Amino acid sequence: MLNRIEMSDVMRRASEAFNAHDNACPTAEHIRKNKDLTETVVTRRVGLIPEAITTTFHTILSEYVYAYNNQIKIAPDGTYHLGHLPALRTNCVRLGFKCRISDRTVRNHIDRLIDLKFLTKEFHGSLKAFELWISPKILFGEAEIAESKKAQNAPKTALLGEKKKNFPHICTYVKPLAKEKGSADMLNSQHGFISYGENLNGERGQADNPAQPAEDTESVLREEIGGGGEILSREQIAARNDQQRRAKATQMLDARRPKMPKGLKQKHMEYLLEFWIHALRVLYTGREFSVEQKTKAIAAIYAGVYNNFEDERTDQQWVDFQVHQLSKLDKAGRYYDNNPGAYKCDPYAVYVPGKGYFDNANTNGFIGIEGWIKKDSERLAANRSAHASKRELAKQNRCERILRTARRDFENLRAGTKLRIEVQYMNQLALFKFYNTVFAGMGQEWQEKFCNQYLYQQSIDFARPQFAKPRRQQELARKKQASHISEATVQLIEDLKDWNYDGYGYDVD
């Protein structure tokens, strides 16, 4: 039995071990150059343990001693010994948090301590932790280890004397044999051993567990069961016990399993259980239901969601119906996840009939999700229609803009003016193929519009159109024309200035 470890003794032995290692480190000479170009020989030890590693080891040691003392307190005697000490299960992230360093630094420190034989590690995979053991010399000291080995190597003395006795098995069934004449001879002839009288050690009486014969060493061991039953082998007894355990486990599961409606088909039962398990996962996460509550909830789902399976559907229609109901559960689960404060009623009616979440009369419950989905579908269809109209309008504007650009390119090519950089090296045929390819991607309608425009331009020899001037320019031209005075009117006015009416008129001067 291992003794309790005192933290002060362990820390003292750990410090002594570190000091002993540092004192045993070899020395090396280094030449240091000074500013005055002289050299100084410096002697220093090589391989000293850094202070950071000692700090990490002290933290691991504290964790190990705490776990060790708790483990040996509850473990039975003989569970652990010096060759089999309890391990500390941890990882680099946890130790890094304790030591206030990174997990990579902890890993490097542990590797160095393993090289120093202060630690032993057993790795359990990249996704699991590892186990650590501290050296027994640090935990217990040399003296205690020597005493323990001495006690283990001591000769063992028999506590019950030289005579060996056969003690009964814990599960042995003892059946007193009938006292009839010749029973001892009968047992002797059948089993090859004597159950009554003296045994080899001089003991008398009936033993609860008679000595087995020396020749009965086969794997098939026989045991007599009550009621005069058959004699079974060890394998048959193990199979019988396994069957009993399975029957008991099935009975326990049946006791915890909710009662299903009577006369339910197997596929309908699977649909019902799948729906209830999914509802527990997405709606009632973390909530525990008793067997009675589960039975009520399944009854509410059976009547409210599936209408007692009275609807006539094919197998594929039932599958589609089940998928639709599960999607409704997912929608309700997302709503409650986004609104944690929303009221979530019980799956069945508790006080007021018809107010359960899955009841058919509760329009605010699971049945109301159908109208919710319908509104979402209508809104989604309206949004898609508006988006499609917007895309069609944008396409129309883009195609009309490209049509105008094509008309100008053909007019500029015919007039010999400078073309755009994209089409500046094309002739009339190449330009037609270019725009025909562009409008082919826009659809047959716009390709026909381009071809009709090209034929019309070709008929007028790609002449530029004579557009009417804008209304404002027309008004400015009319005003300018109205304010214009002809030369004859100017000459008439000059003549009138010089005319004198001899008293009939007035002098202009």
Whether 187 and 177 have beta carbons less than 8 Å apart is answered as yes
* pLDDT, tens digit (0-9, with 9 covering 90-100), for 18-38: 999 989 999 888 888 888 888
Rounded to whole angstroms, what are the CA distances from 397 to 383, 392, 401, 405, 409?
Answer: 21, 9, 6, 12, 18
| Residue 200: exposure state from Cβ atoms within 10 A (0-12, 13-18, ≥19) | exposed
Q: Which residue has better confidence, 390 or 482?
A: 390
CA distance 161 to 447: 114
CA distance 183 to 187: 6
Amino acid identity at 391: R
Which pLDDT band holds residue 5 (cuts at 50, 70, 90)? confident
* pLDDT, tens digit (0-9, with 9 covering 90-100), for 107-152: 999 999 999 999 998 887 766 688 999 998 888 888 777 777 766 6
Tell me the two tokens of residue 197. 């009288």
Provide the pLDDT for residue 186: 44
Which pLDDT band holds residue 172 (cuts at 50, 70, 90)? very low
Which pLDDT band holds residue 165 (cuts at 50, 70, 90)? very low
> What is the CA angle 401-407-410, rounded to 5?
140
Amino acid identity at 403: L
Q: Quick one: which of 316, 319, 326 has its CA closest to 275?
A: 326
Tell me the two tokens of residue 210. 């008679």
pTM: 0.38
Provide the pLDDT for residue 390: 93
Provide the pLDDT for residue 1: 62
- Please report, in angstroms and rounded to a whole number, the separation of the first and last CA atoms in the chain: 147
Whether 208 and 174 have beta carbons less than 8 Å apart is answered as yes
